[in-house]
Structure 1
Amino acid sequence: MNQQADGLSRRAMLARTGLAAAALTAARVLGDAAPAQAAAQAAWRVPGEEAAHKRTWMSWPHSSTIWGNLLSKIQADIAKLAKEVARYEPVTMCANGSANAAKARTMCGSTVTVISSVPVSDCWIRDAGPLFRVDGAGNRDAFGLNFNAWGENATRFYGIPASAYDNDRTLARNLAASLGLPFARAAVVGEGGGIEYDGDGTLIATESCWINSNRNPGKTRAQIEAELLSRFGASKLIWVPGVTGQDVTDGHIDGTARYIGPGVVMVQLAGAVRPDVWTRNAQAIRDTLANATDARGRRLQVLTIEGPDTLPRIPSGQRGDFLSSYMNWTVTNQAVITVQFGDTAKDAAAKTAIANAFGRPVVQLNLDNLYGNGGGGAHCVTMQEPQP
């Protein structure tokens, strides 16, 4: 039985598995990746997530090889989130084949569109799906970040066969093709959850995800930075440290720091339930951003909230591995959807702070299975498609 079936978090500590922290060399060659030309692509950009959406994309988890006996609980949380997002903008769910599509339709209801024409492996469409760009003239295209199951950490952490994620390795290309959009593979490997973008020229990324031999062996920070800037249509990347080897993502930025809009970011300082390594990392990210300027020369305005101090619904032995992040929200056209953890005071404070920052209503859901057993959140399982 894989470790997910035993109930360990997707982001569980390497020490829990007894495996070394040494990174694997990326095994898959980027056959059609070519360095992007910044001058040629200057008009194209990935809009900030607060910009108008055409729809939200999601993908339906179906694999017992990946999830074991947790599958039905994860499906229930995905369905709950999809129905909530669909109150504010269209949602299209990719399901793997007709049988899985039928189950997704039953659980998600009539407000969610389910398609079976784009094969998927799992629910993490933020990491595996395409990033959509616009050019200001009504055109769109897309690119992919060559998803490789978080540097093949899914195999190292949980013993899940690499082949279990084969559909997600091609999800970005296949979804773009289904929409008839031009598509390109980036010349780097990474995930959408590993980078934040303001749509106005500035990116934020954790070094631990990108400058890592399990994703980009042999590439320098300057090479990775140049490629990301070109693909996103940006001119400045603010690097923050991150944490290597402590979770399957190697410290994605979207659990700690997020853009509210150009010039404004929010950072969650760890609550009492998080291990010290994450507390120190959050403070380091906050300090880096507070001293940074963006592509327009603005000193970033850094807002902070605090994570929960308790997770009353979660057994004490499982709290350290729980993604207790309000930051892993998903933005919709009319509301921001995040979570509540049962810490009444911290839940209320986070809701108020996020609502004030965005000027939009905030919905807090109980997604304990996704954030606990899954180790990811609402942002990890959604991908916005912008209006042209």
Structure 2
Amino acid sequence: MTYRMPPEWAPHERTWMAWPGPNPTFGDAGELAAARAAWAAVARAVRRFEPVTVVHGPGQGDSARELLGPDVELVERQLDDAWMRDIGPTFVLDEEGRPAAVDWVFNGWGGQDWARWEHDSKIARQVADLAGAPVLSSTLVNEGGGIHVDGEGTVLLTDTVQLGAGRNPGWTREEVETEIHARLGTRKAIWLPHGLAGDYGRYGTQGHVDIVAAFARPGTVLVHSQRDPAHPDHDRSRTHLEILRGRTDAVGRPLEVVEVPAPTVLKDEEGDWVDYSYINHYLCNGGVVLCAFDDPNDEVAAGVFRRLFPEREVTQVDARTIFASGGGIHCITQQQPRG
């Protein structure tokens, strides 16, 4: 049996999310409350377009229901954190269009000292069971934010994730590609050397690609473009753009690269470089849920997405609280493709 991961723009059965609970990521009670409000805003935005199921920890259903409203399905399971893109399964379809779920090994983004994953390492199988999808187990340490596919055989990866010492020590590039292709139905990997600078901070993922580059359709890739030379991502962006402009996809098309300007803000209130990125968006049935940062470039980015997705409604949600915790809108959502 062969399987294929559909692109994110293919029809969805639903979206899966996880509810923030007390853990090191969210710090004190005020930060947790802010995170819950931000996650709920994303869930409600997605729910306008398709069903949403939110997994919450024991005893947290009432707080979730209060913020999410009556139209979001709730399911109780043990959780450590709230990044469903990374802890949940990667859904694929078999040759007859039936869903299955890839269960990657999850080890807290490379075994970071603050991370806990006793429960999160099991949530992919639990979500697969709730979705009625058979599980395809992988021995590769990987997260959903570390891959992006075009649905026609091409996958984007980064050296510091799949080849990082904290995830897959001893694996060669060829071994990683073989496993990725076997699980996702891809046949060509395009590697970027790193993620954005801010993603290597304490709560970063160490280089997830879904904040750097994402396919918008076969042959077209959106790329984060930091225009300000003062930001360390200025040089990183130039590297990513140069690599992708020189690549072809799995069917031999030269990639069309669409630059998406980064927000104008460079540092957060603590003086650290931000990795704010519009690339970390989420496509749902008839919609685009796009990060906003109360920034002049919010509307610039919205215009790019409206041009690329004229048949979809672009909805912007303030993502600064989510980014402060280590990710963005794409990081907290996971699509289940329609079978």
Scaled by the length of structure 2, the TM-score of the pair is 0.93
Q: Which amino acid aligns with 1:250?
A: Q
Note if contact 2:23-2:81 (Cα within 8 Å) is conserved in structure 1.
no
Tell me what 1:280 maps to: 235
1:119 aligns with 2:78: yes
1:256 aligns with 2:215: no
Match of 1:200, SS? coil
The equivalent position to 1:267 in structure 2, one of 194, 216, 223, is: 223
Any idea what SS the aligned residue of 2:141 has?
coil
- Residue equivalent to 2:61: 101
Alpha-carbon distance between aligned partners in 2 of 1:293 and 1:65, rounded to the nearest angstrom: 41
Residue 353 (1) aligns with residue 312 (2): no
Contact 2:262 2:278 in 1 (8 A): yes
For the residue of structure 2 that corresponds to 1:134, the secondary structure is strand
1:226 alignment counterpart? 178
Matched AA of 1:370: I
Contact between 2:205 and 2:326, CA under 8 Å: does it hold in 1? no
- SS of the residue corresponding to residue 214 of structure 2 reads strand
| Alpha-carbon distance in 1 for matches of 2:124, 2:307 | 34
| Corresponding residue for residue 142 of structure 1 | 101
Q: 1:274 to 1:352 in 2, by over 3 A?
A: farther
What residue in structure 1 maps to residue 125 of structure 2?
173
Contact 2:231–2:266, Cα closer than 8 Å, also in 1: no
Return closer, same or farther for 1:207/1:147 CA change in 2, 3 Å cut-off. same
Query: Aligned residue for 2:40?
Result: 79
Structure 2 runs not aligned, ≥5 long: none
Q: Is the 8 A contact 2:101 2:136 kept in 1?
A: yes
**CA distance in structure 2 between the aligned counterparts of 1:121 and 1:67, rounded to whole angstroms:** 11
Aligned residue among 283, 289, 303 for 1:337: 289
After superposition, give the CA deviation of every residue in 1:271-315 in whole Å (9 maximum; x if it has no partner).
Answer: 449731x22222211111111111111111111121011279x53
How far off is 1:250 after superposition? 1.2
Distance 1:52 1:225, change over 3 A: same
Identical aligned pairs, as a percentage? 34
**Aligned pair 1:380/2:331, yes or no?**
yes
Return the letter of the residue paired with 1:202.
T
Cα drift, residue 129 of structure 1: 0.5
Separation (CA, whole Å) in 2 of partners of 1:324 and 1:353: 16
CA contact (8 A) 2:210 2:330 kept: yes
What amino acid is the match of 1:240?
L
Post-superposition offset of 1:319: 5.1
Distance 1:81 1:191 in 2: 20
Distance 2:266 2:170 in 1: 41
1:209-229 per-position Cα deviation (integer Å, ceiling 9, x unaligned): 111111001111100111001
Say if 1:274 and 1:319, in contact at 8 Å, map to a contact too. Answer: no
SS at match of 2:60: helix
Q: Which has the higher strand share?
A: 2
Shift in Å at residue 366 of structure 1?
Answer: 1.5
1:206 aligns with: 158
- Partners of 2:11 and 2:5 in 1: CA distance: 12
Report the CA distance shift for 1:92/1:268 in structure 2 as closer, same or farther (over 3 A): same
Q: Which blocks of at least 5 consecutive residues in structure 1 are unaligned?
A: 1-39
**Counterpart amino acid of 1:129?**
G
Give 1:65 deviation, angstroms: 4.2
TM-score where L is the length of structure 1: 0.82
Three-state SS of the structure 1 residue aligned to 2:53 is strand
AA paired with 1:61?
A: P
Give the SS at the match of 1:188. Answer: strand
SS of equivalent residue, structure 1 residue 67: coil
For these two proteins, the number of residue pairs brought into alignment is: 332
Paired residue for 1:307? 262
C-alpha distance in 1, partners of 2:304/2:61? 37
